[in-house]
Structure 1
Amino acid sequence: MLNTTGEEDSLRKKVWNAINLIQANQLFVHSKNLEIKYYDDEKNKTSIKILPEILSLCVLNALVANSAMLLVGGHGGGKTTLVKLLGRMFTGMRLDEIESSIVRGHPQLTEEKLTGTLKLGKLMNEGVEEVVWRQFITGFWKIIDEVNRLTPYSQDILLSLLAEGKVKYYDAITSIEKYTLYGTINPQDVGTFEF
C-alpha cells in the first residue's frame, strides 16, 4: 500500500476537481479519451479510469515544472478559455490576472510588447537603462494565444525563454525560474507564419 502525504492528496483532489468541473460545465468538448489503468487500494484491484485526452494532458502539463504545451485546433474551439480556467484553478489567480499574462500573437507584436520596456523617467533623468519586465515574463502562468501569428523574430524570443530560461532586453537579463507555458495555434491562413 502506498502512503501519501496530505500535500499529495490535496493535489490529487485539485486535479480531479479541475477535470470534473470543466467536463461537467462542458467548457471544452473532447473527441478522444485516455484510458488509464491504476491500482485502487480501496478496492484492492486494478481499475480503469476514462479521461478526456486534451484536458488531462493540459492538467498534467500544469503539474510539471517549466513545461510547455501547444494546443492546435480550429477558431473558437475553447483552447485559450481552457488554459485560462486551468490557470485560475491551479494558481488561485483571478481571471483578470491570468489575462494580463497572455500574449496575443500578431505580426506587429514588438520585442517591447513581449518582454518589457525601459523606465523612461530613469533613462531621461539619470541616463540609466532600467527594464520593467512584462507580466508575461515575470508571471508563472504564461499563455501565448495564436503563436503562429508571431513573426519568426518574436518566436525566437520565446524559444530562448524555453531553451535557456532567460530573457534579454537591452543589457538586462532576467531568469525565469519556474513557469507553465501554453501556446495555441489556429489553422494556417492569411497573417500566420510557419512555426
Structure 2
Amino acid sequence: MNRIDLIKLLWLVLLLFPGGLFAQVLPQDKTTGKFYYSEEVLVKDGPQMDLYHRAKTWFNLAGQNKKTINLDDSKNGMLAGDILTELAVVADNQKQKFKLKYTVNLQLSDDRYWLSLNNFQLQKIVSLNQNRSTKELIVNSQPLEVWLNGKEKVNSKVQIPAIKQKLEKAVYKSIFTQMEDLNAHML
C-alpha cells in the first residue's frame, strides 16, 4: 500500500467515525465574538499549482454557482469563496430548514495550504405554497453567533434549547463534512 492509499484510508476512517468532530466547537474571537476556524494542512508532493487546481475544482463542485469564488490569484496561490449549504433540523415533530453560508480562504504553497473559515451566516427558510408551487423565503438571516449564542433576540423558535442543540450539531456536521471533502480533494 503506497503512501497516498494510506492517507485515503485514514480519511475514510475519519469519515466513517466523525463523532469526535462534533464534540468540538468552533473557536470564537475574544474581541469580536465571531466564530472562525483555521488550520495548516501538509500535503506530501503537492506543488503549489497542483494544489491550486485541486482547490479550484473543489470550489466549483462545492459552490452553488459561478460566483462562488471571490478571490482567484493563481500567481500568489490564493483562493477564497463563499459556500452555501442547506440544513434541515427536526424538533418537536417539525422540520425547519436553514441555509448556512460562510467564507473559505485558502493560501497555497508547495506541500501545504492554510485554510480559514469565517463570516458564518445562518438563514431560516420558510416554504410557502402558492398556486400548486412552493416558494422558499428567507425569514431570518443573522450571524451564526447570534443563533447559537443567543446574544441577541431572535424572533423564532430556534431559542428553544432542543432545537438549538440540534441546529448546532447540524451546523458543525455540515462544516466539518465540507472540510473533510476539501481535504480529500487536496490529496
TM-score interval (norm. to shorter):
under 0.3
Q: Which has the higher strand share?
A: 2
Question: Structure 1 length as normaliser, TM-score?
Answer: 0.24
Question: Structure 2 length as normaliser, TM-score?
Answer: 0.24
